[in-house]
Chains A and B, each alone.
Chain A
Amino acid sequence: MLRLAWLLPALPFAGFVALALLGRRLPRATATAVGVGSVGLAFAVAVAIGAAWLAAPPAGGAYVQHLWRWFDVAGFAPDVALFVDPLALVMCGVVTGVGFLIHVYATEYMRDEPGYARFFASMNLFVGSMLTLVLADDLLLLYLGWEGVGLCSYLLIGFWYRDAANGRAARKAFVVTRVGDTAFAIALFLIVRELGTLEIDEVLVRAAAQWPAGGTLAILVAALLLAGAAGKSAQAPLQVWLPDAMAGPTPVSALIHAATMVTAGVYLIARMNVLFALAPPVMTAVMIVGAATLLLGAFSALAQRDLKRVLAYSTISQIGYMFLALGVGAWSAAVFHLMTHAFFKALLFLGAGAVLLATHHEGDVLKLGGLRRRLPVTFWTFVIGGAALAGVPLVTAGFFSKDAILWEAWSRGGPVPWAVGLLGAFLTALYVSRVILLTFFGEQKHAAEPERGLRIQLPLVALAALSIGGGWVHGGFDRFLAGDAHGGEALFEVVAAVISLAGVGVAWLAWRRGLWARPDGALQRFWRSGWGFDAVYHTLFVRPYVWFARANARDVFDRGADAIAGLARGGNRLLVASQDGRVRTYVAGLALGAVVLLAIGVIFARPEPAGAETATEVRP
């Protein structure tokens, strides 16, 4: 059964090829079948492989499938090979499972789009690239998937390309993540130079053998990998692209910018955790980045007015939790939170999409309200997702995963990371309750259509079930992933539960007093702008770059090119003037030319040598 692993990325890629080549000619039903079916089949394969794994785990805890040798240059010969282990299996299950539900949802959400086939082609390409990323046995193949998901992110953020703002958001996402990608690429170069291979297992073994803990090289490589992960996962200071990425269609936000792609950085660090363990300062840096981003995102989410932007900042903040867990070395807790977060954040985004469908894309929470009765299924599933995000105790998945991170933060990192995580938990409960109260409770301020059909509701219900049930597997999950299980301290669970309930309570009190709808203060505006990062980057990077590009546009080479263009234009004008369509002008030209030629012949004719006359055979 494990031999079927190659089907996982192959199926979505096949769907992409079919849709990209034939998409415009296929009837819509066929495009749907191909786009959704390929991901559904991949999910079935992932489930089958997972079941086979649980029934009989292979020796060594990992299964490698060599497909073919990619290339062989100067002793550097990466394989295209798939590496299946518990971590990869969890990621595959999340990507295909959540991805399948979102694809089903998208068939209804994108129903009236002219670019329907193009949308599903990009989505399939994304799922295939993401599976390549998580299954790669080799860092080079991982990098291919890494860039592939970046490309799809760009394509799908800018899906509605007729609006220039969407194109700008797509470019911003691409350029900002590129900063991290460049660091990642440099890390790969360093690894190849120092260790001679990019095969992940081999890299980890050789690094542990050759690099002393805390050595310069280990720190350098780990820091560069961290920069790459921060770019992809929207962590400070590279988080600025994610809120703007909400310009894409909502299923895209759910799949790429909440559940899967943005967690690629977490996956990368979890995968390379041996290497990071060799570099304690970088581990601290991971923790600090996570903690800072966690608070930054939470405060920003508190002040947003747009439903999807709240969720975007919430995603930034929740990935901050994962980085915090990675930073203290609790990578299985990070991956557990990654999984539950994929469930409930995809659910929240799809719920937000259902609200947008009903209200004709009115996303401002202050203009919404009272949608509880109009959209009952959306309301209940959104509340379940919100409860999981807030970490409402005992029933939700988010509580277990967040509690695991808080416990690990305390036991491995000490009181400061724990306190930051706790403050973040309070803020999370606060902002998600604010959004739910403003959107679904109170009086209805905006007209809303009734809910759409089953293809919207089934994914919502399925994800709601996962958002609740996903937490109960915690102990088994740890054993599956890391080989050991350790429950949290009961006292900590109580504290975390009280904190999150307090957040909900405070949000409710504030709502009762109408505090959320009050005009903005300076602090709120500051938070809404994402702590002013955009303005700083604009002054620091964009403006100097634009200035330099302008200054450079008129340099000497450019003048040379201009001169050539001017010459061509002048010649064109001259020749156009000569072709005026008047027969008489042409005749005059002919006559003039004949005169000139004759004149040349007469003036420059050489005197004929004596006796030339006789050569022409004159008869008397």
Chain B
Amino acid sequence: MTSVPTSHVLLLAGTLFAIGLVGLLVRRNVVFMLVSIEVMLNAAGLAFVAAGSHWGQADGQVMFIFVLAMAAAEVSVGLALVLRLHQRFRTVDADAARELGGEGVASPAYGAVAADGGDE
């Protein structure tokens, strides 16, 4: 079994990471943004595994298990947020859901400031 040079694997990991980052930056659909994050996480995991293999240690693979567990947790929370987002805004467009910045949808809480005037 011929070994793949570490530099090639790292190059692949870097490419995957870049693809994920670009996907995150250009997609507006929240689901696809989550998928992009998964791609980036896996790129990082691949780099760990490659590094572990390079140094002949199991630490890289152990780290990848951690990354997987973390990714699973992140996706479950992330998907729950996506559901809430969809219920509230009827869209999964991340830009359409923004409320900050002064030009978005005003929060209903602002209107309820209690006005207690003077004694007259």
Q: Which B67-120 residues have C-beta < 8 A from chain A? A: 94-95, 98-102, 104, 119-120
- B30 vs chain A, min Cβ distance (A): 8
Bound: A270/B41 CA distance, A = 95
A584 touching B24, Cβ below 8 Å: yes
- B83 vs chain A, min Cβ distance (A): 17
Query: Among B21, B55, B57, B94, which residue has its beta carbon within 8 angstroms of that of A591?
Result: B21
Main secondary structure of the interface of A (DSSP, over half): loop
Query: Among B25, B33, B56, B101, which residue has its beta carbon within 8 angstroms of that of A581?
Result: B101
B119 touching A581, Cβ below 8 Å: no
**Taking the complex as formed, is A618 at the interface, i.e. its CB lies under 8 A from any CB of chain B?**
yes
Specify the chain A residue showing the minimal Cβ separation from B36: A587
Bound: A500/B38 CA distance, A = 106
Name the interface size band of chain A.
10 to 19
Also in contact, A587 and B25, with CB within 8 A (given A580-B98, A581-B100, A582-B95): yes
Query: Among B94, B104, B120, which residue has its beta carbon within 8 angstroms of that of A114?
Result: B120
Also in contact, A618 and B55, with CB within 8 A (given A584-B24, A591-B21): yes
Also in contact, A584 and B95, with CB within 8 A (given A618-B55, A619-B57): yes
- B103 vs chain A, min Cβ distance (A): 9
**Taking the complex as formed, is A24 at the interface, i.e. its CB lies under 8 A from any CB of chain B?**
yes
Inside 8 A of B104's CB, which chain A residues have their CB? 581
Main secondary structure of the interface of B (DSSP, over half): loop
Q: Which A558-588 residues have C-beta < 8 A from chain B? A: 576, 579-584, 587-588
Query: Among B28, B56, B99, B102, which residue has its beta carbon within 8 angstroms of that of A584?
Result: B28
Bound: A583/B28 CA distance, A = 9
- A61 vs chain B, min Cβ distance (A): 47
- B5 vs chain A, min Cβ distance (A): 19
Inside 8 A of A576's CB, which chain B residues have their CB? 101-102
Bound: A587/B33 CA distance, A = 11
Inside 8 A of A532's CB, which chain B residues have their CB? none
Bound: A618/B102 CA distance, A = 56
- A528 vs chain B, min Cβ distance (A): 33
Inside 8 A of B100's CB, which chain A residues have their CB? 579-581
Specify the chain A residue showing the minimal Cβ separation from B98: A581
- B26 vs chain A, min Cβ distance (A): 8
B94 touching A583, Cβ below 8 Å: yes
Inside 8 A of A215's CB, which chain B residues have their CB? none
Bound: A587/B25 CA distance, A = 7
B57 touching A580, Cβ below 8 Å: no
Query: Among A580, A581, A587, which residue has its beta carbon within 8 angstroms of that of B24?
Result: A587
- A7 vs chain B, min Cβ distance (A): 30
Inside 8 A of B33's CB, which chain A residues have their CB? 583
**Taking the complex as formed, is A115 at the interface, i.e. its CB lies under 8 A from any CB of chain B?**
yes
Inside 8 A of B98's CB, which chain A residues have their CB? 580-583
**Taking the complex as formed, is A345 at the interface, i.e. its CB lies under 8 A from any CB of chain B?**
no
Query: Among A115, A582, A587, A620, which residue has its beta carbon within 8 angstroms of that of B120?
Result: A115
Query: Among A24, A580, A618, which residue has its beta carbon within 8 angstroms of that of B119?
Result: A24
Also in contact, A115 and B99, with CB within 8 A (given A584-B25, A584-B94, A588-B25): no
Specify the chain A residue showing the minimal Cβ separation from B57: A619
B28 touching A581, Cβ below 8 Å: no
Bound: A195/B8 CA distance, A = 102
Inside 8 A of A118's CB, which chain B residues have their CB? 119
B57 touching A582, Cβ below 8 Å: no
Query: Among A24, A580, A583, which residue has its beta carbon within 8 angstroms of that of B101?
Result: A580
Specify the chain A residue showing the minimal Cβ separation from B33: A583
A619 touching B119, Cβ below 8 Å: no
Inside 8 A of B56's CB, which chain A residues have their CB? 619-620
B25 touching A579, Cβ below 8 Å: no
Q: Which B6-27 residues have C-beta < 8 A from chain A? A: 21, 24-26
Can you sample 27 A-B contacts with CB below 8 Å? A24-B119, A114-B120, A115-B119, A115-B120, A117-B119, A118-B119, A162-B120, A576-B102, A579-B101, A580-B98, A581-B99, A581-B101, A582-B94, A582-B98, A582-B101, A583-B95, A583-B98, A584-B24, A584-B26, A584-B28, A587-B24, A587-B25, A591-B21, A591-B25, A618-B55, A619-B56, A620-B56
Q: Interface of B with A (CB < 8 Å)?
A: 21, 24-26, 28, 33, 55-57, 94-95, 98-102, 104, 119-120
Kindly list the 6 A-B residue pairs having the minimum CB-CB distance in the complex, ordered from nearest.
A581-B100, A581-B98, A114-B120, A580-B101, A581-B101, A583-B94
